[in-house]
Every structure is written in structure tokens, then in C-alpha cells.
Amino acid sequence: MLIAAAFIGPGTVTACTLAGVGFGYALLWAMLLSIVATVVLQEMSARLGIITQKGLADAIKNELKTPWIRMLLIGIVLAAIVIGNAAYEAGNIGGATLGMDALFGEEYSAIYPFVIGGLAFILLYVGSYKAMEKVFVTLVLLMSLSFLLTAIITKPDILEIVKGMFVPSVPDGSILMIIALVGTTVVPYNLFLHASLVSEKWKSKEDLPNARKDTIISIALGGMVSMAIVIAATAIPGKEVTNVMDLAKGLEPLYSNSAKYFMGIGLFAAGVASAITAPLAAAYVASSCLGWNSGLKDLKFRIVWMIILGLGIFFLSFGIKPIEIIKFAQVANGILLPVIAIFLLWIVNKSSVMGKYRNTKTQNILGLVIIVLAVVLGVKSIFEVLGLF
């Protein structure tokens, strides 16, 4: 559930909104493909975490015998995830702030980032997996109800939705939007977060079926929410959207003034969920890469997430737009996803690590297809950032 909440952030809401506005139901297949890819990779990550009781970075480090390759991987991971998450944290808090603007008005906008940051701080500082899971379940349910109800009220064409999901098409000008939809769903840092978090919840190999079921259901729920946003966005009159809240304005004729509250709740939940998971993931990755072996309540672990959270509030509160850092993070993540997917596939096939729980042939085929897709999308995203695409 934490992973599902992690990939439905303000960036996902924005990408799905623009996909629905620009291309209707035509790109739902890309979202479905992304969900399948996410389930496959996250299941591998969770299985690795339960069998080894270690994080992904720890497991890879232990199996890499060449020092320079090990150091290169650690450098890429730290740069892309820790620095990148610090940049994106501002967007997460900003999304939650936008939701509070819709719910309570813009009069107190200046203090909303501190309120959201304070809420995230408390939840992270408590350091209880069970407490955070309850909060995330509540947030995801709020988010799901908000966006699903918004989609249903638009009275969508069911046959066109089915066609969009199962008949792939690439309308003119849609390539970059397809990249955005896949990129906002198949998130590299979630692979590290999942492998680390499962050991907080499950300790035994007998728990693998429960973990697999948990992964499939939670990510499918997150995917449904993302698809609901795409579907709802197709109903916007005039197809003019300058920001995510325009989705609510477009639905006012159908849903009266209540539309902005549903969108506000969804954005707040999405923003808070991502504002918690981004610092948490950065702390887990830093701990694994630097060999701290620290838990949720360890001082060094807390210092990392405090820095990430603090930078997010700082960037947003003082109007600093970390565009260059975000561009760097996009390039780094474009490199990171295929690299980490390759290492993940490699390590879950090692008998010395996984024993009889290593990948099946079907899982390997699916993994290879996803890696090829990740390489193509990674190259295109890098070219886009560098202005070459």
C-alpha cells in the first residue's frame, strides 16, 4: 500500500490529467502496461527483501565483486535517488498545498507547506511501520474515492475505455506523454523502498504468497486511480488545462461546486503520501549504500529524511524552483531504471541469494521485456531533457 501511494503523487495526477485532456482514452494501454511492469518488478523486489531480509542496494553490493562497478552503482543510486528526491519533494509538498488551497482557500497558502511538512515529520519521526501503513491506507482510500467518483460522474464511454486499454495506439504527438505515463508509474526508488519495507512487515518465507497478493492488489488499486484521472480528464469542456485544478473546474457543470473538494482531497492525499515516501526511500537507500544497517528510529536514518523533507519545504517556501536539479534527476533516473532493473533481474536469478525462490522462465521473459522498454524510455527521456528529441 505504501508503494501504491508512492507512485500516485502530484506528478502522476498532472500527467494523467494531461493525457486524458490531450488524447482521451487512447493512452490507457500505456497506463495498463505500466501497471503490469510495476507489479512484475515490485514483486521481484519484495521477494528479494523477504528471502534475504536485506535492502536491494545491500543485496547487490554483496554480490558485486568488482570494486569500481560497485562504487559506480552506489554513486548513480545516491545521486539519482537522494538528490533527485530532494528536488521532487518540493513538488510533492506543492501538490498537497494545492489540495489545501482547494479545500480551505488560498488565504493561508504561505503556511500550508509548513503544515504539510510538519505532518510528514511527525509520521516519519514516529518510525512505526504499522502506524504509517494505517495512515497510507487511509490516504489511498481517500484518494481512490475522490478520483473514482470524479471519473464515474462524467459518464464515460465504457466501450471506448476498453478499446483504449487493450488496443494500443500512438496518436500524433503522444510519444512524450507515453513516456511520462510509464515514467511516473514505474518508479526506480520504489524498488529500493519495497525491498526494505517488506522486512519490516514479513520475516518468513511462508509470507511470500501474502506479499505477492499485497503487491498485486495495492498496485492494481493505484493503477485504477491513475486510469480514473485519465478518464475524468476527457470530460473537460474546451480541453483547456493550465493546471491540475482546472480538472475540477471543468467538472463543475456536472458536479456543482463540490468538484473542487473531491479534487482537493485527492491532491492533498497524493501530495502527503509522496511527501512521506520520498524522504523515506532516500533514507533507506542512503543506509544501504553507505552500509549503516540502520532502522526507522536510527539517528543517521532520521537525519537523511529530515534533510530531504527540509529541502522540499525550503524550495517551496522561498519560491525556489530547482529546475536544474530536477533535470539532473530526470537524466539520472533515465539511467537508473534500466540499470537497477538489470541488476534486480540478475540478483533474483542467483541461487546463492534466492535459493529455490529465484525467478521462473516466465518472470525472466517479462523482466527482459520491461528492461528493453526501460532502456528505450530512458534514452528518450534523456534526449528530451537535453533538447535532442
Domain at 288, CATH number: 1.20.1740.10
pLDDT of residue 132: 66
Under the banding of pLDDT at 50, 70 and 90, the label for residue 322 is: very low
pLDDT of residue 27: 93
The larger pLDDT score, comparing residue 191 to residue 365, is at 365
3 state SS for the chain: CHHHHHHCCHHHHHHHHHHHHHHCCCCHHHHHHHHHHHHHHHHHHHHHHHHHCCCHHHHHHHHCCCHHHHHHHHHHHHHHHHHHHHHHHHHHHHHHHHHHHHHHCCCCCCCHHHHHHHHHHHHHHHCCHHHHHHHHHHHHHHHHHHHHHHHHHCCCCHHHHHHHHHCCCCCCCCHHHHHHHHHCCCCHHHHHHHHHHHHHHCCCHHHHHHHHHHHHHHHHHHHHHHHHHHHHHCCCHHHCCCCCCHHHHHHHHHHHHHHHHHHHHHHHHHHHHHHHHHHHHHHHHHHHHHCCCCCCCCHHHHHHHHHHHHHHHHHHHCCCCCHHHHHHHHHHHHHHHHHHHHHHHHHCCCHHHHHHHCCCHHHHHHHHHHHHHHHHHHHHHHHHHCCCC
pLDDT of residue 324: 53
| Confidence (pTM) | 0.81
Residues above pLDDT 70, as percent of the chain = 85
Domain that holds residue 20: 2-385
Mean pLDDT for 30-50 is: 92
The structural domain count of the chain equals 1
